[in-house]
Structure 1
Amino acid sequence: MDFKKTILWAVFSMAGLMLYNNWQIHEGKPSMFGGNPTPTAAKSDSAVAGTTKVDVPAPIQTAAAPVIAKAPGINTGAIETAEKFVLQNDTLVLEISASGANVVEAKLLKELTVEKKPVELFQYTPNHKYIARSGLIALGNTDLPNHTSTFKLIQSGKDETGRPFIVLGSERSGVKLEKTFSLNPKSYVVDVDHRVIQTASNSNPLVLYTELVRDASQEQKIGPFDGAFSASTFTGPAVYTEKEKFNKLEFSAIDKNKITIPTQVAAGEPAWIAMVQHYFASAWIPNDKSARDIYAGKIDNNLYRIGMQVPLGIVAPGAGVVEKVRLFVGPQEESVLETIAPGFALLKDYGYLTILAKPIFWLLENIHDYVGNWGWSIILLTILIKLVFFPLSAASYKSMARMKEVQPRLLVMREQYKGEPQKLNQAMMEMYKKEKINPIGGCLPVVIQIPVFIALYWVLLSSVEMRNAPWIGWIQDLSVPDPYYILPVVMAASMYVQTKLNPTPADPIQAKVMMYMPLVFSIMFFFFPAGLVLYWVVNNLLSIAQQWQINQMFANKSAK
């Protein structure tokens, strides 16, 4: 019996600890559990082990460590006042600045905020800076077209396939850079071709760099309770390589120079860089034909970057070379991400329980394909999970029912051996053995199911598919809390009924804790998304039905 208490207290303590930790993060304080595990070596923006400093972004050296230097400061006035060029399809609207030919605004037309306006992923405002930029660098000659250069419109319109495109060009030091941005219909992927033309004699090898730059803030409010629910999701740079897989870089770790990333990527090895936030992401995806170098760091107060360098080699006078890269700007829809690049689905982060979360989402998505409503899909998924765990739940409820049967005898024992805990425990163990009761049988099945519940929590937390997804009536968005708190109240009531169906603990303190737990958990569920609370409500109602039936079965046996 004491072991059962220990398990219960451990579960309740862990739940309380996780709730307090999420509240700490929501209040802007560091997580009690720290950020992502960080390797021992450190790398900053202005210096990499075995590198040298220069005044502007510097290129890789042949077969050596990358030379990555402090980036020139963003010319705020130039970006804000420069001419903007618009590129649009039916899902995405991009604004490209003539200053650097940087993508400074991206509106996702099918993803709406609480004000029913398109989500703006890229922004360049006084309160929030988040852009995609690229340019050229060369050893011995840094005055080349880069993200600070002035670009002019060369051509725009639609190509032979009907894709809208824009071509912007700039020339410095005898090197001309033309950037062509093209959009496919219904796509969040922008094809960006960098055409480099050498107009003068230059023996220095050229290097193309692509970067994502943003601050650490979350300016745009996605939902009415955004923050209370999404506080535990990751925001920041990320990198994928075939060898190292997916690696997230915390802003706080970058501040402390406590990050390491795979700086060099071999030719033929898939790799990409990204900026990730709740539900959405952006990423540069280069081709994998040549070796590349990756870097990340802080470039200004509350301004960070992650970038990749691709060597273009020496371009002969009068010759040219084209480097094709892709820029993704969009939601983390798993079915879409899987088609873009190797490992790209990892942008949708399920945490440490990915091995359970991915099949759960796969099942949920397939159910949705048939019923067409995410709320009913969650209900059907709950029923299926309940059926899978039916034997465990039945064993748990049978154990609880047996415990409820012998409850009067336990109370007599407590009075009989009052003040003699050793004799009381011995008598209880003998009774359990005689009656063939496992004192922890009611808790162990619940503990086994906890990882599945946590995995489902991350599925509902991470799935952008739930945004603006209605269920019935008052629930018009499963990704945010119930606006009228009806589901949390039903949740509390169902937990209270479950408590009444369970045997009353002999320990008065434990009995009070069990009585107050529904209230404590209902308060916590006030801040959870309606989709997750819906799962728990349905799960509790099914559990109540199963537990009541088993209790009745034992009651009928006792009556005979």
Structure 2
Amino acid sequence: MESQRNILLIALLLVSYMIWNQWEADHAPQPAVTASTVATSSQETALNDVPVADDNAADVPQTQVVASKELIRVKTDQLDVEINPVGGDIVHAALVTHKLELNENDPFVLLERKADFTYIAQSGLIGKNGIDSGKGRAAYAAEQQQYQLADGQEKLEVPLTYVAPNGVTYTKVFTFTKGKFDVRVDYRVNNTSAEPLQVQMYGQIKQTIKPSDSHMMMPTYRGGAFSTADTRYEKYDFDEMQEKNLQKTTEGGWVAMLQHYFVSAWVPAADEQNIMYSSVSNGKDANIGFRGASHIVAPGESKTFGADFYVGPKDQAALSELSDSLNLVVDYGVLWWLAVPIYKLLMIFHSFIGNWGLSIILITLTVRGILYPLTKAQYTSMAKMRNLAPKIQELKERFGDDRQKMGQATMEMYRKEKVNPMGGCLPIFLQMPIFLALYWVLMESVELRHAPFVLWIQDLSVQDPYYVLPVLNGITMYIMQKLQPMSPNMDPMQAKMMQWMPVIFAVFFMWFPAGLVLYWLMGNIVAIIQQKIIYASLEKKGLK
């Protein structure tokens, strides 16, 4: 069996499947938002998308207020956020250290509120004595409109205060930490009344439903996800939210909104019972959130409770600090068990050399080195098969159309000559999963976003701007074909298709991330060198 041709055929089938799968996703009919869906969403989220408390108690009606235009701005070394004093929602979040475009100064904006698009993080207190409801949100007062993390300062607290008509003071505190993308949101309830208070925190992420910006070579996900004690990670996309509201009770857990390279997530208390929910309001805004445990605050008592909110890149180390399963939003698919060690090895290489392109080259050399014994066995088997070609032709002439005898005689000849006809296949099935796993590592790892290599390759996460790597990849494929002459018995149509394979793949790779094409190119170069070495060794043994 001709190994390289089989690799090309399998890879071509893989790419064809990806194209078909993406076409299906783009052209599949979208579920309609029915009247019943909208009605159910309205019942559960009310006017301001505030969820109904678990005890079904009527939320305390608040004075309806107009959203303030005087937003509270907070700047740290990582975040530039704006908080609406009405409700205390985070309505804008820019990632200072992640730029919108390569070589530009504008930061990447994750949370925002525009006329045609909303993506914000909401939180509040509901329940019998809650201060947020569908009839209104608490209007907080802040000591200042601008906050900034000073040089040398590790933490920055932004307190917002609301005094209820009964004199109870509610303080919503946002705590920002140097170098962190997560924000601690705490409620400090000081019950100065004569009656016990019952309140329940909720946190949700609201986003206007919009399609993902993925394409056939970059199939990325945009939508919700959640975690429970039983399910560590599960996507819950916009279509599912429109069809059915999420309702899961669990200890701990988290909810999130995902997109390519970035995530926002609420992580409530890990030792409390929380309810994960979703809803769709106005037929266009998807909400995914949690309702925390109900808290009783006795007269004269003060109580503090809260949750963590993450808004930033899919940094696996940072996400794991908040929850041992939150790092799973970096989704490597079914080959995660192979992608995770590849990612860790990539990180180790980068820690030494500081260049992601060179790290990918080292990954290639490592993988090819590990597979070398199998590669040698593969080429040896192929050489023996080619040397047996005249004898196989003799068997065909001897047995004619008697396939049973022909098969028995052929297997007997393989046994005597100690040739494994499947010896050329095993490396193929080992290389393809590695290729796919690395593909998802390069697709999902935010570290490679805007990561330069050399010269014209300044972003390994996108396609080569001048298509140099795809062209070089086609050239190396052509050289590999010349090192493995086609069988004279090959069907002419198949032979013609194989001759065009380097061109076909050069075109396909024009849309792949440059980092992945670099991996495949280096793999081809190493394979050419290995072939020359192995073939020279075989010729010394009399095998051509």
Q: Distance in 1 between matches of 2:541 and 2:22?
A: 47
Q: Indicate yes or no: 2:110 matched with 1:125.
A: no
In 2, are the aligned partners of 1:467 and 1:477 still within 8 Å (CA)? yes
Task: Give yes or no for the alignment of 1:57 onto 2:36.
Answer: no
> Which amino acid in the other structure matches residue 292 of structure 1?
N
Residue range with higher mean Cα deviation, 538-547 or 298-307 = 298-307
Report the Cα offset of residue 158 of structure 1. 7.0
1:99 and 2:86 are equivalent in the alignment = yes
Query: How does the TM-score come out when normalised to structure 1?
Result: 0.82
Deviations, residues 488-507 of structure 1 (Å, cap 9, x unaligned)? 11111111222222241422
Letter in 2 for 1:445: P
Post-superposition offset of 1:273: 1.7
Query: Are the structure 2 counterparts of residues 511 and 405 from structure 1 closer, same or farther at C-alpha, using a change threshold of 3 Å?
Result: farther
* Pairing partner for 1:553 from 497, 520, 537: 537
The letter of the residue matching 1:558 is G
Moved more, 92-101 or 129-138: 92-101
Residue of structure 2 equivalent to 1:246 = 233
Secondary structure of 2:516's match? helix
Equivalent of residue 463 in structure 2, options 481, 487, 490: 481
**Residues 393, 446 of structure 1: 8 Å contact kept:** no
How far apart, in 2, do the equivalents of 1:325 and 1:133 lie?
Answer: 12
After TM superposition, give the deviation of residue 10 of structure 1 in Å. 6.0
Pair 1:166–1:308, CA change in 2 (3 A)? same
TM-score of the two chains, using structure 2 as the length reference: 0.84
Give the superposition deviation at 1:375.
Answer: 0.6
More deviation in 334-343 or 271-280? 334-343
Question: What is the number of equivalent residue pairs in this alignment?
Answer: 525
> Which residue in 2 is equivalent to 1:519?
503
Corresponding position: 1:88 with 2:56? no
Alignment check: 8 A CA contact 1:46 1:68 kept: no
CA distance in 1, matches of 2:397, 2:113: 72
Paired residues of 2:2 and 2:424 also in contact (CA < 8 A): no
Establish whether residue 168 from structure 1 lines up as the match of residue 165 from structure 2.
no
> Partner of 2:209 in structure 1?
216
How far has the Cα of 1:204 moved from its partner?
Answer: 6.1
**What letter is aligned with 1:22?**
Q
Q: Residues 287-336 of structure 1: CA distance to partner in whole angstroms, max 9, x if unpaired?
A: 23432222112223231111111234333455443223221111112232
Q: Match of 2:33?
A: none
Question: Is residue 433 of structure 2 the alignment partner of residue 451 of structure 1?
Answer: yes
| Residues in 1 aligned to 2:430 and 2:240: alpha-carbon distance in whole angstroms | 34
* Residues 14-23 or 204-213, more deviating: 14-23
Equivalent-residue separation in structure 1 for 2:255 and 2:508 (angstroms): 36
Once the two structures are TM-superposed, the CA of residue 102 in structure 1 deviates from its matched residue by 1.0
Give the direction of change, closer, same or farther, for the CA distance of 1:30–1:365 in structure 2 (3 Å limit). farther
Q: What CA deviation, in whole Å up to 9, does each residue of 1:319-375 have, x standing for no partner?
A: 443223221111112232222332222121111111111111111101111111111
Asked if the contact 2:442–2:516 (Cα under 8 Å) also holds between the matched residues in 1, the reply is: yes
* CA shift digits 1:106-135 (9 cap, x unpaired): 111111122622110101113431100111
1:332 to 314, 322, 339: 314
Alpha carbons 2:250, 2:274 under 8 Å: kept: yes
Q: What stretches of structure 2 of length at least 5 have no aligned partner? A: 31-35
Write the mapping of 1:229-378 to structure 2, written as runs, cut at 5 A: 231-257=218-244, 263-266=248-251, 270-317=252-299, 319-378=301-360
Structure 2 residue 19 is the aligned partner of structure 1 residue 19: yes
Match of 2:520 among 536, 541, 550: 536
Which deviates more, 456-465 or 201-210?
201-210
Q: Per-residue deviation at 1:525? A: 1.2
In structure 2, relative to structure 1, the CA distance for the partners of 1:180 and 1:46 (3 Å cut) is: farther
Deviation at 1:148, TM superposition (A): 4.0
User: What percentage of residue pairs aligned between the two structures are identical?
Assistant: 34
Q: Secondary structure at the match of 1:526?
A: helix
Q: CA offsets, 1:491-524, max 9 Å, x none?
A: 1111122222224142223322322222222222
Once residues 349 and 335 of structure 2 are traced to their aligned partners in structure 1, the CA distance between those partners, rounded to angstroms, is 21
What do the CA deviations read for 1:185-206 (whole angstroms, capped 9, x no partner)?
A: 1211112222234465666621
Measure the CA separation in 1 of the matches of 2:335 and 2:58: 38
Aligned counterparts of 2:174 and 2:107: Cα–Cα separation in 1: 21
Relative to structure 1, the CA distance from residue 54 to residue 487 in structure 2 (aligned partners, 3 Å threshold; closer, same or farther) is closer
